[in-house]
Amino acid sequence: MEHIGRRKFARLSLTAAAAIAGGCAAKPDAGTKPVVRTELPTITNTRIVNASVAIFNGDYSTGNFSQWWVQCKDYNDKGSDFPGSYSASIVGDPVYGRAARFEVRAGDVPPFGGGERSEVSGGDASGGREGDVRWYRFATRFDETFPGDHADLGWGLTNQWHGETFSGSPPISWSVSEQNGQWTLVAERQSRPAGYLGRVVLFSTPLDVGRWHDVTMQIGWSVSDSDGFVELWHNGVRQTFTDGSQTYRVRTMVPGTDAPSVYYKEGYYRENGIEPTGVVYHSGFRCAATQAGL
């Protein structure tokens, strides 16, 4: 599967770096960092947190976007001040209680430019730094009207861990443009910011529009291909990756910065010029030092 959509991603890597750089706008204050789970690869971590609680909670239980920073058409500021619009709104959901609805129409570019988008950013506490090991849980659902031919239309992301201090593609993301009708977890290996070594497809599943994807991930954050790793549970089932393993070892951060770090974003972000409107729902995002903290 690793060859799927590489031609399409080349367009993302080489022509959209400036657009993705827009994700580096101001974010909420940083949080503390988690400890290492000892049965996994040994990664030094000196930032100790309470392992039994979430480090970051972005589950929309507040009924608004106060847990996040919002970036969408005509807005790039604190979620607590976001008035709401068709671009981003909170809706009731029978499964998760509350969910965020993100809608992107043709031309929906935020004030700082870049690609069309409606997203939220979680700040430092939602991501990680070199040596951190973190657990994440979130749910994503594609509206029944979401375009099933996205790979033909252009690149698009729904969830990503973006570099804190550099421009370029996110090192870990969920894409809708690797293959038509598929939602794909990918790692973009880089030797330095925007120094692309090759995109790796880790896992893919049908969009399954109208149904929630419940995702749990454990990520070891590192610029090293031997220390960085990803593990994945999809709808409660641990997944085997494209290399046949259940722990995919790959660099999850980008070398070449003074203090490599990433932060999490969710919503819908896509290439300029795509005509069909797209609607994606997200809910339940939490980040913790251990699975119990989720």
Count the domains in the chain: 1
Task: For residue 39, tell me if it sits in a domain.
Answer: yes
**Domain membership flag for residue 54:** yes
pLDDT digits (tens, 9 = 90+) for 58-103: 999 999 999 999 999 999 999 999 999 999 999 999 999 999 999 9
DSSP 22-68: GGGS--PPP---PPPPTTS----------TTSEEEEES-TTSSSTTS
**Does 82 fall in a domain?**
yes
pLDDT at 43: 31
Q: Does the residue 157 lie in any domain?
A: yes
The answer to whether 188 touches 196, Cβ cutoff 8 Å, is yes
As a 3-state breakdown, the chain gives helix, strand, coil percent values, each rounded to 5, of: 10, 40, 50
- Candidates 262, 251, 265, 276; CA nearest to 191 is 251
The verdict on residue 152 lying in a domain is yes
For residue 232, give its domain range. Answer: 6-293
Residue 1 resides in a domain: no
- Mean confidence (pLDDT) of the chain: 86
Report the distance separating Cα 49 and Cα 169, nearest Å.
Answer: 29
HSE (side-chain half, CA atoms, 13 Å) at 279 = 13
Residues 285, 265 contacting (CB under 8 angstroms): no
What CATH number has the domain bearing residue 113? 2.60.120.200
Confidence of residue 49 (pLDDT cuts 50, 70, 90): low
User: Tell me, what's the pLDDT at 242?
Assistant: 98
**What's this model's pTM, rounded to 2 decimal places?**
0.85
- Cβ-count burial 85-114 (b if 16+ within 10 Å, e if not): ebbbbbeebeebebbbbbbbbeebbbeeeb
pLDDT at 29: 32
| DSSP element (H, E) containing 265 | strand 261-270
pLDDT digit string, tens, across residues 24-44: 333 333 232 222 232 333 333
Q: Hey, CA dihedral for 185, 190, 194, 200, is it positive or negative?
A: negative
- pLDDT above 90 for 152: yes
Give the residue from 39, 201, 31, 219 showing the smallest Cα distance to 135: 219
Distance CA 56, CA 79 (A): 15
Tokens describing residue 83 = 């008035």
